Amino acid sequence: MTVRIVTDSACDLSDDELATWGIGMVPLSIRFGNDEFVDRTELPTDEFYRRLASSTDLPETAAPSPGAFMEMFNSMAADGATAVVCINLSEALSATIQSARTAAASEEVEIDVHVVNSKSVTGGLGSIVLSAAEAAKNGASADEIVALVEEQRDRTRVYATLNTLENLKKGGRIGGAQAALGTMLSIKPLLDLSTGEVVAAGKQRTRKRSLDWVREQLEQAGEVENLAILHSNADDIDAFLASVADLPNAQKARTNVIGAVIGTHGGPGVIGITYQVPA
């Protein structure tokens, strides 16, 4: 059996990682006003952040159509796959997985498809997808890969800090006066996305303290698996990498840029980590 892995563009894996492991990626769409773009294909990540900086309104994201997933599944079948495991962005945050399920159930799909909710985002999703792709390359069955994904997702942790309140303001999550006061006080929200939902984990009064908090989550975890460090064009990412260099597994960590799907809501300057605690 040849099993292939499919995901969506919220995985924030690099083009090289997708190509190396033969992972199919179905992109979401990003809309700035009346202008709609296919994530990564029509709107590269660096261009997204340039547009975001100049936009007065928060862009919107849209899930891929079932047809986009159907096309991907059938292309895998045409390429010789006998089954597909499709691992998607957390169901609590997006309708993407529903499109994948609709496609998988279609009579027009020519291959057995297993759709799995990662219950994660960005690099957390990416790490799970990479593990699934490695298992597929080593000959695991679709059922074995689904079991692996479900086991890993329960051990996946994602923590991050925002550098700006501007996107929360644009999205209507906080008012203008609250955003202005927060900016004046240099408030940096702390987030825990480990359950696949956005959970406030507190706030710090300076960027340094907020990054110290992110570092502390990793330090307190001790030995971890599949560590990745994430950022949305943060100009202080190198300093953060240096600050965690002495921690276990830091030298083996992947570093990925947060793409448009998550960057829309977090804004520029987000720094976060994702890892899996030992079983």
CA 161 to chain centre: 15
3-state secondary structure of 202: strand
Q: Within a domain: residue 48?
A: no
H-state helical runs in the chain: 15-21, 45-54, 66-78, 96-104, 122-137, 142-153, 166-170, 176-184, 207-221, 237-243, 260-266
Kindly state whether residues 111 and 192 are assigned to the same domain: no
The tens digit of pLDDT for each residue in 34-65 reads: 999 999 999 999 999 999 999 888 899 999 99
Q: Residue 229 — pLDDT band, cuts 50, 70, 90?
A: very high
The verdict on 164 and 138 lying in the same domain is: no
pLDDT in tens, 178-228: 544 455 447 798 999 999 998 889 999 999 999 999 999 999 999 999 999
CATH code assigned at 226: 3.30.1180.10
Question: Residues 17, 106: one domain?
Answer: yes
Indicate the length of the chain as a whole number: 279
Assigned domain for 35 exists = no
Mean pLDDT of 82-95: 96
Dihedral angle of Cα 202, 208, 212, 215, to the nearest 10 degrees: 110
The boundaries of the domain holding residue 232 are 156-276
Q: Is residue 84 part of a domain?
A: yes
Task: Quickly state the pLDDT bin for 139 (edges 50, 70, 90).
Answer: very high
241 lies in the same domain as 181: yes
Q: Do 8 and 143 fall within a single domain?
A: yes
In a domain, 72, yes or no: yes
Task: Assess if residue 54 is contained within a domain.
Answer: no
Residue 252 lies in a domain: yes
What pLDDT does 184 receive? 47
pLDDT-above-90 percentage for the chain: 83
At residue 47, the pLDDT reads: 97
Query: Same domain, yes or no, for 15 and 77?
Result: yes
Indicate the residue among 153, 171, 192 that finishes a domain. 153
Whether 205 maps to a domain, the answer reads yes
Specify whether 126 is located in the same domain as 200.
no
Q: What is the mean pLDDT of the chain?
A: 92
Whichever domain contains 111, its CATH number is 3.40.50.10170
Domain count of the fold of the chain = 2
45 is a domain residue = no
- The residue out of 137, 153, 169 marking a domain boundary is 153
Query: Domain check: are 207 and 126 in the same one?
Result: no
- 144 and 163, same domain (yes or no): no
If phi > 0 it is left, if psi is from -120 to 50 it is alpha, else beta; for residue 96 that is: alpha
Q: Are 201 and 260 found together in one domain?
A: yes
Domain boundary among 153, 183, 203: 153
Least confident of 32-36, 137-141, 163-167, 218-222: 163-167
Q: How far apart are CA 5 and CA 145, in angstroms?
A: 9
> In the prediction, which pLDDT does 241 show?
97
User: For position 185, what pLDDT does the model report?
Assistant: 46
State whether 167 and 196 are in the same domain: yes
Both 130 and 257 in one domain: the answer is: no
